[in-house]
Chains A and B, each alone.
Chain A
Amino acid sequence: MAETTISTAAARRSFFGRFNLEVRGHMPMGQQMLVVAAGIMLGLLISAMLLVVSGVKPSGLVNEFVVAIFTSRRNVAAVLSYAAPLTVVGLAAALAFKARFWNIGLEGQVILGAIGATLVANHDFGPPALRLVIMALAAMAAGILWIGLPLFLKIKLQVNEIISTLLMNYIAFNLLLHLLYGPWKDPQSAFPNSKLFDDVERLMPIGWQNLNLALPIAVLLVLMAAWLLGMSRYGFLLNFVHANARMARALGIRIVGLTLLFALASGALAGFGGFIISTGIESRLTQSFFVGYGFSGILIAFLARNNPFAVAFFAILVAVLMVAGQSLQVFYQIPFAMVQLIQAIIVICVAASEFFIHYRLRMVE
């Protein structure tokens, strides 16, 4: 009797037992990059199918995403001018995530940064020659202020920062609306905008197309982040906080201090991102200047696995999507939400591809 029950159990298993799921010990870096690249390609393929279904001809896709962007200097410049603030916000996310502080409040910090910069511009603080520097410092201080409260709550009371930083976004947005519909509204405009910045309050052009200082600054910040994470002692210690916090604690690494340092740097960078967008692209505060930057920063850092150089690469990829999305809007009446949908599809595909880095499916007899 016992043997019959066993054999039926075995038969049932053999139906499902064709494939075995096995944990991989380790995958070489090159292979990991191939797997992630395959995930991105799959995401792009699914997105292309969605666009074709919504009425874009396949030839039109190639035209908008490849030909138009990489053959026109104007479009290359547009991509780079979006990529600069995206890189800065992506770096902000990477610094916080590396310290395992899940800063979902980048958008709020970007908004506050822009508000801080505009405050300086509105009141013409400081000599004109130093105006931009003061605006940048104010933006970073505002970003630090906005991450400071959730950080304090996290360290003192263990309040989950995912929730608190997320909610701070809404406070920031409503503060922005209050300013733009109230005290800061430009009387010469029908729209809820602040008044245009003076010339000394805008980032200088670098003399190629419409690009300005934001691009070299972003490159510099990538290098600085790479130094901080990859070469400095802080980055070395932070690797252990990230990889095994229990061990880091047992070895006497000051986890709280490191978390403070990197989370505050994250807030400062996000605020600086708000400064770059408002002074480099919009030249004023508008009620929607931040849309697409805050949350893109999170996904860029995720795709880049917090590596600063990869952040720059994925920021360019997202910028291509944004620019192509604009022309799709104009020529095919595809809504901007489609661009966000494509971003989401790529993230899901990459996240799913990570599965194959950690596990393998094997056929068994």
Chain B
Amino acid sequence: MNAIMGHMRGTVRRGPDGADVPPALVLAGISKTFGDFAALSDVDFDLRPGEIHALLGENGAGKSTLMNIVAGIYTPDSGRVAIKGQPVAIRGPSDAQQLGVGMVHQHYKLVKPFTALENILLAHPGGSFRAARSRLEALTKDALDRIGFDVDLNRTVETLSISEQQRVEILKVLVAGATIVILDEPTAVLTDDEAVRLFKAIRSLAMEGHSIVLVTHKLSEALNYADRITVMRGGKVVRTVLPTEVTEAELTELIVGSAISERSHRAGKAGKPVLKLRAVERSDSRGGKLRNLTFDVRAGEIYGIAGVGGNGQNALVEVITGLSRVDAGNMWLDAHGDVTNQPSDRMRRSGIACIPSDRHSDAIAGELRIADNYAISGVIEGRYGSVARVDRRGIAADTQDAIRRFEVMGVRGPYQKAGLLSGGNAQKLVIAREFSGKPSLIIAHSPSRGLDVRASAAVHEHLRAARDRGAGVILISEDLDEVLVLADRIGVMNRGTIVAEFEAPADRQMIGRAMVGHG
């Protein structure tokens, strides 16, 4: 541990020939906020020459934000960056490139109708087209041979497979002369075989002296392929460890944490089920797939669904709210019977309310008034005046009332545009609207994502109040702390199904293992 701390202060270590070799990259005290959300707070990180360093953590832990700062996409609010022992200021991606930093993003930035070589050329203009082309072709071929990549440079990108496109991205970075290579979730789109080949290539890059940062949320990759592992959680570095000195269980604990700061109180007695899903199947499409999904939600309980993002959570929300059809299986609502594959307006009329994960695209019309955004669900159900005339006065009065009760701040009046609200206040507005119809089932998907502590606590309090009123609440969250603090019962979602269920208080290590397990 002391040795690691020493590195963070930028001390040097002895190279093989006895000369002083400074760290390839040192980050010290990096902080970054977006609005009132602290994405990174006081983060230290160091990268040695020739090492593969895994940056591990859940979604939203701040891994990508930290690396985007190194790549010049974001500028930090505070903190220092040093490359090869020299303090530097990275003000943009071109600065990063000149300093030898190259990042392969999760979403590739390639021009599809152009060939692989043309894409590489596009990233490195200079000199005449002809001369640059032949110079780069030689450079690229050389890089290809050295790391054992196999890509036909003269094929257009759209004809290349995903893994070949990824190789083009890596080549782009190498040809630019990057010595620090950052790979952001590189295996997310690869098959297992392709991933193994990728790690082989990465290792040979490291042998050549490149320093690699591997951003990932997969434990096994970090344990099997990295020289060191730095774990991040909630915008902070938890610890830096060697893969040989930790077990998978210990690493899980580091990732999901053990601290619960918010005081929780549990439900009284849960009633009969308000929602039953039985063997629901949905084939893979936008939002992910569901397979053999079965669970109950009872009146007066919060059913937490824990899991790494992208394991079918979006599909689940779409199916329950009636936005997407199921291929097989059934869904029952208390008092409404079988509601499988009913359209969304019917589902809402049956007492389902939804707090979606992406409030700005799914729950708020930013260019319309706060009052309209509040009243829309009531208007759909036929309240507020008649078909011929919407009762604007009634809407304004009710909105004023809701703004006060749900403590939506930063509002000058109900006719202000909803897009001007901050994240937390926009979320309170969504909750005020969704609760206005006295729903019997509430689906909250990452309801406190991007909110500060105070706003999340308020959101949680509203969910508990709904539960205590007798509603069934489904809480879907990638933040295990949130699930543990709120849920009365917890289901773990992994690859489209509930793989385990726990009664609160649940053991977080067991939940963590079910989340990342591949059995």
A237 interface residue, CB < 8 Å from B? yes
Give which listed residue, B321, B389, B417, contacts A26 with CB less than 8 A.
Answer: B417
> Given contacts A5-B98, A13-B91, A244-B365, are A252 and B348 in contact (CB under 8 A)?
yes
Q: Is the CB of A232 closer than 8 A to any CB of chain B?
A: yes
Query: 8 Å CB contacts to B: which residues of A234-293?
Result: 234-237, 239-240, 243-244, 246-247, 249-254
Q: How far is the CA of A232 from the CA of B386 in the complex (A)?
A: 8
A9 within 8 A of B: yes
Q: How far is the CA of A9 from the CA of B344 in the complex (A)?
A: 54
B379 lies within 8 A of A233 (CB): yes
The answer on a CB contact under 8 Å between A254 and B345 is yes
B343-374 CB contacts (< 8 Å) to partner A: 343-349, 354, 356, 361-368, 372
Interface residues of B in 69-107 (CB under 8 A from A): 83-84, 86, 88-89, 91-92, 94-95, 98-99
Q: Contacts of A53 on B, CB cut-off 8 Å?
A: none
Main secondary structure of the interface of A (DSSP, over half): helix
| B65 adjacent to chain A (CB < 8 Å) | no
Check A244 against B364 for contact (C-beta < 8 Å).
Answer: yes
Q: Out of A1, A13, A237, A239, which one reaches B380, CB within 8 Å?
A: A237
Q: Report whether A6 and B361 are in contact in the complex, using a CB–CB cutoff of 8 Å.
A: no
* Alpha-carbon distance A233/B395, docked complex (angstroms): 13
Rounded to whole angstroms, the CA-CA distance of A165 and B363 in the bound complex is: 32
B390 touching A243 by the CB < 8 A rule?
no
Q: State whether B389 touches A250 (Cβ < 8 A).
A: no
Interface SS of chain B: mixed
Contact of B94 among A9, A26, A232 (CB under 8 A): A9
B207 proximal to A (CB < 8 A):
no
Contact B83 A250 (CB under 8 A): no
B92 to chain A, nearest CB (A): 7
Given the complex, which residues of A lie within 8 Å of B365, measured CB to CB?
A: 239-240, 243-244, 247
Type the 1/0 row for A210-245, where 1 means its CB is closer than 8 Å to any CB of B.
Answer: 000000000000000001000111111101100110
Q: Chain A residues near B346 (CB, 8 Å)?
A: 252
Contact of B363 among A10, A236, A237, A247 (CB under 8 A): A247
A233 to B387: give the CA distance in the assembly, Å: 5
Choose among A233, A234, A244, A253 the residue that contacts B345 (Cβ–Cβ < 8 A): A253
For residue B368, which residues in chain A have a CB less than 8 angstroms away from its CB? Answer: 239-240, 243
Evaluate whether A244 and B379 lie within 8 angstroms (CB atoms) in the complex, with A6-B88, A254-B345 already known: no
Chain B residues with CB under 8 Å of A251's CB are: 344, 348, 376-377, 380
| Contact, CB under 8 Å: A3 / B86 | yes
Is A236 within 8 A of B389, CB to CB? no
Closest chain B CB from A255 CB (angstroms): 10
Asked if A207 is at the interface of the complex by the 8 Å CB criterion, the answer is no
Residues in A neighbouring B385, C-beta threshold 8 A: 233
Q: A13-B91, A240-B368, A244-B365 are in contact. Are A252 and B322 (CB under 8 A)?
A: yes
A232–B367 CB distance below 8 A: no
Asked if A364 is an interface residue, CB under 8 A from chain B, the answer is: no
Beta-carbon nearest neighbor of B99 in chain A: A2
Kindly identify, within residues 1 to 49 of chain A, every residue whose CB is under 8 Å from any CB belonging to chain B: 1-3, 5-6, 9-10, 13, 25-26
* C-alpha gap A264/B354 in the complex (Å): 32
Q: How far is the CA of A6 from the CA of B349 in the complex (A)?
A: 60
Q: Please tell me if the beta carbons of A236 and B379 are within 8 angstroms of each other in the complex.
A: yes
Rounded to whole angstroms, the CA-CA distance of A237 and B368 in the bound complex is 11
B380 x A253 contact (CB < 8 A): yes
Given the known A-B contacts A3-B88, A9-B94, A25-B420, are A252 and B380 also in contact in the complex, defined by CB atoms under 8 Å?
yes
A252 touches B91 (CB 8 A): no
A243 / chain B contacts, CB cutoff of 8 Å: 365-368
Instruction: Determine the distance from Cα of A231 to Cα of B386 in the docked complex, in whole angstroms.
Output: 10
B95 near A5 (CB under 8 angstroms)?
A: yes
The interface residues of chain A lying within 8 Å CB-to-CB of B322 are 252
Min Cβ gap B341→A in Å is 14
Interface residues of B in 267-291 (CB under 8 A from A): none
Contacts of B344 in A (CB 8 A): 249-252
Is residue B388 within 8 Å, beta carbon to beta carbon, of the partner chain? yes
Once the chains are docked, how many angstroms separate the CA of A239 from the CA of B392?
A: 14
Given the known interface contacts A234-B387, A240-B365, A247-B361, the answer about A252 and B83 at a Cβ–Cβ threshold of 8 Å is no
Please give the distance in Å from B346's CB to the nearest CB on chain A: 8
**Chain B 372-408 interface 0/1 with A at a Cβ cutoff of 8 Å (1 = within):** 1000110110000111111000000000000000000
Residue of B nearest to A236 (CB): B390
Query: Which residues in A have their C-beta under 8 angstroms from that of B348?
Result: 251-252
B91 close to A10 (CB less than 8 A)? yes
From residue B342, how far is it (CB to closest CB) to chain A in Å?
Answer: 10
- Min CB–CB distance B353 → chain A (angstroms): 10
- On chain A, the residues within 8 Å of B343 by CB distance are 252
Shortest distance between the CB of A68 and any CB in chain B (Å): 42
Of chain B, the residue at the smallest CB distance from A235 is B390
A252→B437 CA distance, assembly (Å)? 14
**Distance, CA A236 to CA B388, complexed state (A):** 11
Q: A2-B83, A240-B376, A246-B362 are in contact. Are A252 and B347 (CB under 8 A)?
A: yes
Chain B residues whose C-beta falls within 8 Å of the C-beta of A6 in the assembled complex: 88-89, 91, 95, 98
Interface assignment of B323: CB less than 8 Å from any CB of chain A: yes
Q: Out of B88, B372, B388, B420, name the residue touching A232 (CB < 8 Å).
A: B388
> Please, which residue of chain B has its CB at the minimum distance from the CB of A228?
B388
Partner of A247, one of B88, B349, B362, B390: B362
Residues from chain B with Cβ under 8 Å of A232 in the complex: 387-390
- Bound-state CA distance A1–B366 (Å) is 48
Given contacts A250-B362, A252-B322, A252-B348, contact A237 B379 (CB under 8 A): yes
The residues of A that contact B390 with a CB separation of less than 8 Å are: 231-233, 235-236
> In the complex the two chains form, what is the Cα distance from A128 to B361 in whole Å?
56
A250 in contact with B323 (CB, 8 Å):
yes
| Pairwise interchain contact A250-B354, C-beta atoms closer than 8 A | yes
How far is the CB of B304 from the nearest CB of chain A, in Å?
A: 22
Chain A, residues 339-361, CB within 8 Å of chain B (1/0): the string is 00000000000000000000000
Contact partner of B323 among A13, A234, A235, A249, CB < 8 A? A249
Q: Do A2 and B372 have beta carbons less than 8 Å apart?
A: no
Contact surface of A with B, Cβ cutoff 8 Å: 1-3, 5-6, 9-10, 13, 25-26, 227, 231-237, 239-240, 243-244, 246-247, 249-254
13 A–B contacts, CB within 8 A, in A order: A2-B88, A6-B98, A13-B91, A233-B386, A233-B390, A239-B368, A244-B366, A247-B363, A247-B365, A250-B344, A250-B363, A252-B346, A253-B380
Closest A-B pairs by Cβ, 4 of them = A252-B345, A243-B365, A244-B365, A252-B344
